[in-house]
């Protein structure tokens, strides 16, 4: 599950009011055998832990998407390795993803809401002790809200499908493949077998896109489909985004669709390589500067946010606003 910045900034689930607590924090249960869990936190399958000086060995969809959005941001994230901790909504999405991964590995008769609750309780200690969760420093009310939005995302799967009817071929499938000469790496959330062939599915906990953004959002799963076709030798029939609790967005995997996303990937890879060689990374300013975690390091982004504030074109709850134009400290009377 990829949770991108734009999704975080408009996460509808995160804005809802939290009802009574969801008891994830109860005593760990026994009797449920879990397969090994993937690393917690938002997955970064491309960047090594150290500062990098050249282009990546393999390109992941999230890295490509960051570079397309802003090359300077990509440099700070993937080359300079500046800290970019996931926010609350992204971490809640990671938790939901972890639970659903385990759930879909169960036999079909075990894929029930009741079992999802048990799995959530089983997985909760891993999230609760994750350094990114600890860094959020949530008070009890906020922690309850976090558990609630996580559970709404998990439960949201039943809005989209009956998991007992899904024929799962693989979950968390690591794919390494060349796409149009670009070394590509991705982790596919779920690969399903339907009567007419394979279907690539990716869970999303952010807000489902408006129609004009659907095509762009589907690029990631279409790239997965291209990679699977190259790596496994069977082309998936459909690529699907499961917006938990909302709706499913999908595309037929056609020659034309694959050609478009592969060409975009190739262009991004070529620009990235050129930037790494020249050391020049364009600052692509825009409304998303308001949500850029590197705003304090970026003069162009700071100027953009200030200008948008002056013109009343920046949401005041955008995190960068507090960095660029902090409220004056109240003096005691």
Residues that bind ligand SF4 (CB under 6 A): 70, 72-73, 283-285, 288-289, 292, 294-295, 298, 300-301
Minimum CB separation from ligand SF4 for residue 62, in Å?
Answer: 15
Pairing mode, if any, of strands 197-204 and 247-252?
Answer: unpaired
Q: How far apart are CA 201 and CA 218, in angstroms?
A: 10
The helix (H) or strand (E) run that includes residue 135 is helix 131-136
Residue number with CB closer to ligand SF4 (131 or 311): 311
Q: What share of the chain is helix, strand, coil (3-state, %, to 5)?
A: 50, 15, 35
Q: How far apart are CA 199 and CA 193, in angstroms?
A: 6
Longest dimension (CA), the chain: 73
Minimum CB separation from ligand SF4 for residue 323, in Å?
Answer: 10
Minimum CB separation from ligand SF4 for residue 293, in Å?
Answer: 8
Please check whether residue 249 is in contact with residue 240, taking contact to mean a CB–CB distance below 8 angstroms: yes
Minimum CB separation from ligand SF4 for residue 93, in Å?
Answer: 21
Q: How far apart are CA 136 and CA 25, in angstroms?
A: 17
Please check whether residue 305 is in contact with residue 320, taking contact to mean a CB–CB distance below 8 angstroms: yes
Residue number with CB closer to ligand SF4 (260 or 283): 283
Six token digits for residue 286: 């825009």
Residue number with CB closer to ligand SF4 (189 or 304): 304
The helix (H) or strand (E) run that includes residue 228 is helix 211-232
Residue number with CB closer to ligand SF4 (6 or 127): 6
Residue number with CB closer to ligand SF4 (224 or 294): 294
Query: How many CA atoms are closer than 13 Å to the CA of 155, on its beta-carbon side?
Result: 10
Minimum CB separation from ligand SF4 for residue 302, in Å?
Answer: 7
Which is nearest to 234 in space by CA: 183, 193, 198, 195? Answer: 198
Residue number with CB closer to ligand SF4 (63 or 284): 284
Minimum CB separation from ligand SF4 for residue 131, in Å?
Answer: 24
Distances from the Cα of 221 to the Cα of 68, 87, 89, 227, angstroms: 17, 23, 21, 10
Minimum CB separation from ligand SF4 for residue 77, in Å?
Answer: 9
Q: Is the dihedral of CA 134, 138, 140, 142 positive or negative?
A: negative
Residue nearest to ligand SF4 as judged by C-beta position = 301
Residue number with CB closer to ligand SF4 (69 or 115): 69
Minimum CB separation from ligand SF4 for residue 58, in Å?
Answer: 23
Burial of 55 per CB tally in 10 Å (0-12, 13-18, 19+): middle
Which is nearest to 293 in space by CA: 90, 130, 73? Answer: 73
Residue number with CB closer to ligand SF4 (249 or 305): 305
Minimum CB separation from ligand SF4 for residue 294, in Å?
Answer: 5
Residue number with CB closer to ligand SF4 (176 or 310): 310
């Amino acid at each position: 599950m990829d949770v991108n910045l734009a999704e975080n900034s408009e996460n509808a689930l995160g804005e809802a009011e939290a009802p009574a607590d969801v008891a994830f924090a109860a005593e760990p249960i026994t009797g449920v055998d879990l397969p090994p869990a993937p690393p917690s936190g938002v997955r970064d399958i491309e960047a090594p832990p150290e500062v990098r000086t050249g282009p990546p060995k393999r390109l992941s969809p999230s890295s490509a998407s960051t570079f397309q959005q802003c090359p300077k941001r990509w440099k700070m994230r993937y080359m300079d390795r500046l800290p970019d901790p996931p926010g609350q909504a992204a971490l809640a999405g990671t938790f939901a993803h972890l639970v659903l991964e385990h759930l879909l590995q169960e036999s079909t008769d075990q894929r029930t809401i009741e079992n999802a609750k048990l799995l959530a309780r089983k997985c909760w200690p891993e999230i609760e002790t994750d350094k990114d969760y600890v860094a959020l420093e949530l008070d009890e009310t906020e922690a309850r809200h976090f558990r609630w939005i996580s559970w709404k995302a998990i439960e949201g799967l039943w809005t989209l499908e009956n998991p007992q009817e899904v024929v799962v071929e693989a979950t968390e499938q690591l794919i390494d493949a060349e796409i149009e000469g670009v070394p590509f790496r991705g982790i596919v959330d779920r690969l399903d077998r339907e009567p007419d062939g394979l279907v690539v599915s990716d869970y999303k906990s952010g807000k489902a896109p408006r129609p004009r953004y659907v095509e762009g959002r589907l690029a990631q799963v279409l790239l997965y489909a291209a990679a699977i076709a190259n790596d496994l030798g069977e082309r998936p029939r459909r690529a699907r985004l499961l917006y938990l609790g909302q709706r499913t967005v999908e595309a037929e995997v056609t020659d034309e669709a694959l050609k478009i996303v592969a060409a975009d990937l190739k262009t991004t890879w070529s620009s990235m390589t050129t930037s790494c060689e020249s050391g020049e990374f364009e600052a692509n300013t825009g409304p998303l500067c308001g949500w850029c975690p590197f705003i304090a390091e970026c003069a162009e982004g700071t100027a953009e946010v200030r200008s948008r504030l002056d013109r009343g074109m920046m949401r005041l709850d955008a995190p960068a606003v507090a960095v660029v134009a902090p409220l004056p400290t109240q003096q005691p009377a």
